[in-house]
Amino acid sequence: MERYVRKHVPDVLDLIVTPLVSILVVGSVYVFALMPLTGFLSDGLVWLLSLLINSTSPVVSVISGYVLSALFLPMVLLGLHHGLIPIYAVQLEAMGGVTLFPVLAMAGAGQVGAAIAIFIKAKKVKNLRMQKTIIGALPAGFLGVGEPLIYGVTLPMGKPFITAGLGAGFGGAFVMLMHVMSIAWGPSGLVAIPLMKTPIMMLYYFLGLVIAYIMGFIITWFGIKAQDVANV
């Protein structure tokens, strides 16, 4: 835009007119076109997620819970998970609680289960470096901090990153089916248990974590070979 304006403006006015016109045109496009469009898309996403989350159909709850949990780790890598915070806020204001956060929190539990499976295989093949990495990252994983496991263990290996997400989906499906709701959002994992709205929801959330731990472990255990761990 700046180059186009500069070509059509006399040199004596270039210093003042070119920046002014460029800002006005680009700003107008942003305010009157891009902002309404992104607002429309955001509202549509909130509506779709609300429809899935509030569905009374067990089938819809299970499928949507599984997909959301399984895809959350790739969203974290792309930085898209920050875009979910407005949805949390909308849910909290409209419903008095957040149902999306407990579902997505299962993604970290799938990582933990996958890491435990890798640790056992690493012990068999005597990969001491991998064992030390997992031992150092696992406590943080239980407390809802998944980055050490993602960047130190599952993502470098490739396949476990996928199996962890597949395992997490089972926990997300259970939590969505039980309509677990939190009163806020923050760290996931075990430390998020007190954030659940009622004692029974705390129990369901914990059971969801256990399911994600177990399924992340099982799918990773059968999804990778000991040789895969030895070569890391």
For 96-156, the three-class secondary structure string (H helix, E strand, C coil) is CCECHHHHHCHHHHHHHHHHHHHHHHHHHCCCHHHHHHHHHHHHHHHCCCCHHHHHHHHHH
Residues 114 and 194 in one domain: yes
| Residue at 85 is within a domain | no
Q: What is the pLDDT of residues 152-203, one digit of tens each?
A: 999 989 899 999 999 999 999 999 999 899 998 888 899 999 999 999 999 9
| Residue at 93 is within a domain | no
For residue 140, name the pLDDT band (cuts at 50, 70, 90).
very high
Q: What is the DSSP string of 147-203?
A: HHHIIIIIHHHSHHHHHHHHHHHHHHHHHHHTT--BSS----GGGGGGGBSSHHHHH
Residues 121 and 29 in one domain: no
Residues 45 and 109 in one domain: no
pLDDT at site 42: 64
| Residue at 188 is within a domain | yes
Residues 114 and 226 in one domain: yes
Exposed, middle or buried by CB within 10 Å (0-12, 13-18, 19+), for 15?
exposed
Domain around 8 = 1-53
pLDDT of 51 > 70? The answer is yes
| Residue at 13 is within a domain | yes
Q: Distance between CA atoms of 189 and 147, rounded to whole angstroms?
A: 13
Residues 218 and 124 in one domain: yes
| Residue at 79 is within a domain | no
Query: Is 225 strand, coil or helix?
Result: coil
| Residue at 89 is within a domain | no
The answer to whether residues 118 and 153 touch, using CB atoms and an 8 Å cutoff, is yes
The count of domains in the chain is: 2
Residues 203 and 113 in one domain: yes
Residues 112 and 45 in one domain: no
The answer to whether residues 214 and 111 touch, using CB atoms and an 8 Å cutoff, is no
Residues 141 and 213 in one domain: yes
| Residue at 169 is within a domain | yes
Residues 120 and 214 in one domain: yes
Rounded average pLDDT over 57-76: 89
Residues 131 and 39 in one domain: no
The answer to whether residues 113 and 171 touch, using CB atoms and an 8 Å cutoff, is no
Residues 129 and 224 in one domain: yes
| Residue at 64 is within a domain | no
Residues 122 and 192 in one domain: yes
For residue 13, name the pLDDT band (cuts at 50, 70, 90).
low
pLDDT of 125 > 70? The answer is yes
